[in-house]
């Protein structure tokens, strides 16, 4: 009879342990999903600002059609991106296109002095900072989640319960290269 009680106690302890482990993995998965949602919100905010910036620049630089089209296409790519890898790639294209747009704006002193353009540029800069913070949070939660499901003893349950490794929001290879800086006139 004592053996039966010991077996029941062992099964109960294992069951409680499995429930605690499962709940932890659920909590971490939800944090990862929240982190991705935060990135998505900031990307949407930036996408909503971009048409206003493009219109402000268009008024001054109507002949820069290729730049406007590149920004519009990159913005659409970000809006349609599915998952961290696609969103990261589309985000890099948009950042490059916006850089070209602001380079065009530099050629127009009246535009650079426009309160509307300056406000839009400041909002975009603040949004870029929020995107960077959201990326850091997302990657930190992905790291915790991935560590959680890949370490013992959770690894024994994670695959069976449908928990899979999540993808980091990573920089493209070209983003790691140092830009060339020249002070030549």
pLDDT digits (tens, 9 = 90+) for 137-146: 999 999 999 9
Residues in the chain: 185
pLDDT of residue 115: 73
Beta strand extents in 1-109 (DSSP E only): none
- The percent of residues in the chain predicted with pLDDT above 70, rounded, is 83
What span, in angstroms and rounded, lies between the C-alpha atoms of 118 and 120? 5
| pTM, entire model | 0.69
pLDDT, tens digit, for every residue of 84-137? Answer: 877 778 877 888 787 777 777 777 666 666 777 778 788 888 888 888 899 999
Residue 126: in which H helix or E strand, if any? helix 115-150
What span, in angstroms and rounded, lies between the C-alpha atoms of 28 and 22? 10
């Amino acid at each position: 009879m004592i053996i039966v009680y010991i077996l029941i106690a062992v099964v109960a302890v294992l069951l409680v342990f499995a429930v605690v482990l499962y709940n932890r993995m659920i909590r971490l998965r939800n944090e990862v999903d929240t982190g991705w949602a935060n990135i998505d919100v900031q990307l949407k905010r930036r996408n909503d600002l971009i048409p206003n910036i493009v219109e402000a620049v268009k008024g001054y630089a109507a002949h820069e059609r290729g730049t406007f089209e590149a920004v519009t296409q990159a913005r659409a790519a970000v809006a349609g991106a599915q998952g961290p890898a696609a969103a990261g790639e589309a985000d890099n294209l948009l950042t490059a296109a916006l850089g070209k747009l602001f380079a065009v704006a530099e050629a127009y002193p009246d535009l650079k002095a426009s309160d509307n353009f300056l406000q839009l540029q400041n909002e975009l800069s603040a949004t870029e900072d929020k995107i960077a913070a959201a990326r850091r949070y997302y990657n930190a939660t992905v790291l915790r989640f991935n560590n959680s499901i890949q370490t013992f003893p959770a690894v024994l349950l994670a695959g069976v319960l449908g928990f899979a490794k999540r993808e980091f929001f990573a920089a493209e290879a070209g983003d790691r290269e140092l830009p060339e800086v020249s002070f030549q006139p």
